[in-house]
Amino acid sequence: MEKDNLEVLDRNFQDKVDREIKIEPKDYMPDAYRKTLIRQISQHAHSEIVGQLPEANWVTRAPNLRRKAVLLAKIQDEAGHGLYLYSAVETLGADREDTIDDLHSGKAKYSSIFNYPTLSWADMGMIGWLVDGAAIMNQVPLCRCSYGPYARAMVRVCKEESFHQRQGFEIVVQLMKGTKEQKEMAQESLNRWWWPALMMFGPNDADSKHTAQSMKWKIKRHTNDELRQMFVDVTVPQAEQIGLKIPDKDLKFNEETGHYDFGEIDWDEFWQVVKGHGPCNTERVAARRKAKEDGMWVREAANAYAEKRAKRNKKAS
């Protein structure tokens, strides 16, 4: 295509985005927009799928049948979220299996939070309350993302996430109404999850290389720091109400700004985990790779069965 032509197309594209007209799969879009979305949506999908693993760790040890049924339903939702998102990636022309193989080879990233281990039952509560809570902060604005299929998938996901957050908070509340040991278990769990939850919003705005362009394209609606502040502001009072102490000596409500001031995140830890050196990175990716390899016979069997059934139907007609 001629250069002038491309410039016109790019200008029309940005104009549509500025006027809040959604971009749909077959519409013209700049290559960089397409690539950014493929990267973001596939990594989002991987996060949903990998996110099943820390919770799967507690299915057989859930304290009662109700908790077990709820946990299973939540894990099934995460699988569903992954599927909505892989479908959205495919509308951009990406190959679903290639994106999954990128996860397995370590080329594609996923949310670093899932590289932390789930050591106690209280962690199931913290994940629902904090991790899904942070995910909701991130995902609600994505419902208005400029790319139609991603925005529509996010609407479905957000509806389901609020159950995840509430069930998690209920677990924590229950523990905080319990014995001294149960309260300690909840506090110990919060101590481990608080900072990684804040890291979920990504680097500070000054260090986030994609933010400005993503905001211009209306893929992102708020910066990392804005979302992180929103999360802190809603979560701190929740913790206080149930008697938990946020593990941050610098945390303080600022009367002037109307927001909580909070301490500096350990960015060295953040980058270590992003680069694959977190407590569970190797284990998580190995589990995903094994799941694909061990499940390959199911895919083949389904194909064989479909072929057999098609032949039989042909004969009958």
Partner 1 sequence: MSKKEWPLWEVFIRSKQGLSHKHVGSLRAADAEMAVNNARDVYTRRSEGVSIWVVESANVVASDPSEAGPLFEPANSKAYRHPTFYEVPEGIKHM
CB contact set of 125 (below 8 Å; sequence gap of 6+) = 168, 169, 170, 171, 172, 174, 175, 186, 189
Is the distance from CB of 168 to CB of 231 less than 8 angstroms?
no
Q: Which is nearer to partner 1, 152 or 222 (CB)?
A: 152
And the tokens for 209? 């290389």
| DSSP-derived secondary structure letter, 182 | H
3-state secondary structure of 254: strand
Is 90 a binding residue for partner 1 by CB under 8 A? The answer is yes
* Residues 155, 165: Cα–Cα separation, whole Å: 16
Give the distance from CA 270 to its chain's centroid. Answer: 16
| Other beta carbons less than 10 A from residue 14's beta carbon | 15
Q: Of these, 28, 32, 205, 282, which contacts partner 1 (CB under 8 A)? A: 28
CB contact set of 28 (below 8 Å; sequence gap of 6+) = 9, 12, 13
Q: Of these, 252, 309, 311, 312, which contacts partner 1 (CB under 8 A)? A: 309
**Closest distance of CB 25 from partner 1, Å:** 9
Q: Which stretch binds partner 1 (CB under 8 A): 80-88, 113-121, 136-144, 268-276?
A: 80-88
3-state secondary structure of 220: coil
Q: Which stretch binds partner 1 (CB under 8 A): 51-59, 86-94, 104-112, 127-135?
A: 86-94
Q: Of these, 16, 22, 34, 96, which contacts partner 1 (CB under 8 A)? A: 96
3-state secondary structure of 87: helix
Is the distance from CB of 128 to CB of 293 less than 8 angstroms?
no
Q: Which is nearer to partner 1, 40 or 214 (CB)?
A: 40
Is 162 a binding residue for partner 1 by CB under 8 A? The answer is no
Is 11 a binding residue for partner 1 by CB under 8 A? The answer is no
Is 305 a binding residue for partner 1 by CB under 8 A? The answer is yes
* Residues 134, 112: Cα–Cα separation, whole Å: 13
Is 302 a binding residue for partner 1 by CB under 8 A? The answer is yes
Is 98 a binding residue for partner 1 by CB under 8 A? The answer is no
Strands (E), the chain: 252-254, 259-261
Q: Of these, 76, 105, 213, 241, which contacts partner 1 (CB under 8 A)? A: 76
Is 205 a binding residue for partner 1 by CB under 8 A? The answer is no
Q: Which is nearer to partner 1, 32 or 73 (CB)?
A: 73
**Closest distance of CB 78 from partner 1, Å:** 12
Is the distance from CB of 143 to CB of 155 less than 8 angstroms?
yes
Q: Which is nearer to partner 1, 88 or 198 (CB)?
A: 88
Is 160 a binding residue for partner 1 by CB under 8 A? The answer is yes
Q: Of these, 26, 66, 249, 314, which contacts partner 1 (CB under 8 A)? A: 26
Q: Which stretch binds partner 1 (CB under 8 A): 60-68, 156-164, 182-190, 235-243?
A: 156-164
DSSP 113-181: GGGS---STHHHHHIIIIIHHHHHHHHHHHTT-SBHHHHHHHHHHHHHHHHHHHHHHHHHHHHHTS-HH
State the binding string over 121-150 for partner 1 (x if CB under 8 A, else -): ----------------------------x-
Is 69 a binding residue for partner 1 by CB under 8 A? The answer is no
Q: Of these, 59, 72, 83, 265, which contacts partner 1 (CB under 8 A)? A: 83
In the complex, the residues that contact partner 1 under the rule CB under 8 A are 24, 26-28, 73, 76-77, 80, 83-84, 87-88, 90-91, 96-97, 149, 152-153, 156, 159-160, 296, 299-300, 302-303, 305-306, 309-310
